[in-house]
Each structure stands twice: as structure tokens, then as C-alpha cells.
A = this chain, B = another copy of it.
Amino acid sequence: MPPVSHINTIGLFGFGQFGRLIAKHLSPHFQMTVHDPYAIVSETKAYHFDTAAQTANCDLVILAVPVSNIASTCQSIRSHLKPGCIVMDVGSVKMTTAKAMQDHLPADVDLIGTHPLFGPQSATGSLSGRKIALCNIRGQADRPVSVFLRRVLHLQVYSLSPEDHDREAAVTQGLTHLIAKVLTQMGPLPTRMTTVSFDLLLQATAMVRHDPPNVFSAIEEENPFAADVRNEFLALVADLGANLRVTSPEQ
């Protein structure tokens, strides 16, 4: 019996950092086909790669492509999808991808937006206890998918609307990536006179600084609430500095 009723086959579009993580964790449970014209050949051997048409012809189609490519991927696969199949994305923003899938995919396809709140840097071993946001966009596939994520992958599943997701992620991811980017630009940072709290800051930075540029761009540019959070952060930093007494080095 398949781990999710009616889902026997999975088609995975995108074999980047996150696509490879998905393939590793889902291939033991499903018959999986992968499509990525830019995949590194040496890393593809463990999986069955096929054409876009064959990969789209599955019970569940997962779009692990950059957020900016979701719309064009939907357009190119739409004619190959099976009626009643499920299409799911894994992007860091949910309003943009939900709209792209709704706009470009047939009405007889169920749509789910997910945002796994972990990545290759933070989830090196088991996924047990990791968090994933789940936004049901169209249809009722969210129930069985949620059950699978919880019971088989042991993830913590948070069901919420794309807008609620983006509001929270604008703060959690928006601030983390903003701070990490700025600290990286300030480097090399001291490693001797460090406190535990500064070490934690460096760990947080190290965890996201190697994310592909399109992840930063999605988080900061495709989330409609990110600019407000950045502006609030900037204003508070400026305000704090303006109210502090400055001691000159030439005292």
C-alpha cells in the first residue's frame, strides 16, 4: 500500500540543493521520476531521470525550481499533467507561487503550497521534528499529504494561508537573510573575542550564507511583506545609533 492513498508516482522538477534533499527523503517511499536539464550527471545515478512530459505524468508533481521559474514551469508542464493529480511547490514564499500555480495550471489539478523550514545546511540527518508550512490552494489533497509528512517523515506540519505564511516568513526569514548577508559583507569577522551570543549569530549566518542567490531573492523580493520588515529594521538601527553617545577613538 502506498504511504499516501492515490499517490504511487512522484515527478520531481528541479535537482538543485533542495531537489536533491527531496529525492533522498521521498524516493524510498514512492516511484520517483526526476527532471532537471541542468542536473550534475554524477549526482543523478541514484534516481530515474526522464523528460519533462514523463515527469509531469505522475500522481504528485513537486516543483523544486526557483520561485521565479514556477510560472514558466507550470506553463511548460500543464499539457502533460494527469487530471486529478496534485501539484506542489516548495518555495520560500507562498503567495507568489500559489498565484502562479492557480493562473497557469488546469482546474482539475489539486494545488498545494509547502515551505519546508529547513534545508541541506540545517537538516543533515533525519527530518524528524523539522517544520514545514502547508498551504492548501485548491482541492483536498492537503489532508493525505499532511498525514504523510507527519507520520512518515515525522515533520511538524503548520497549515496556514499563503498570506499568513508570508507575513511570518517576512520576519523570520527576511530578517535572518538580511542580517546574514550584511554580516557576510562585513567579514572577515573576529573569531577570538567572541561571546556565546555572537557565536550563535555566526552560526545563523553560516547556515544561510551558502543558499543559492535565488533563495535570497525570493525571500527578500517575492515576499510582499519583506520590504516593510526591512524598513522597520533599518529605521530601528538608525534610530538606536542616533540616540547613542559617540566616544571618539582619539579620546
Tell me whether A47 is interfacial, beta carbon within 8 Å. Answer: no
Secondary structure of the A side of the interface? Answer: helix
Give residues 166-189 of A contacting B (CB, 8 Å). Answer: 168-169, 171-173, 175-176, 178-183, 185-186, 189
Contact B224 A195 (CB under 8 A): no
Tell me whether A7 is interfacial, beta carbon within 8 Å. Answer: no
Question: How many residues of A sit at the interface, in one of the four size bands?
Answer: 35 or more
Residues of A within 8 A of B (CB): 95-96, 99, 115, 117-118, 122, 131, 133, 158, 165, 168-169, 171-173, 175-176, 178-183, 185-186, 189-190, 192-198, 200-201, 203-205, 207-208, 220-227, 230-234, 236-238, 240-241, 244-249, 251
Instruction: Across the A-B interface, give the 6 residue pairs with the lowest CB-CB distance, nearest first.
Output: A200-B204, A168-B193, A122-B196, A224-B249, A197-B207, A168-B190
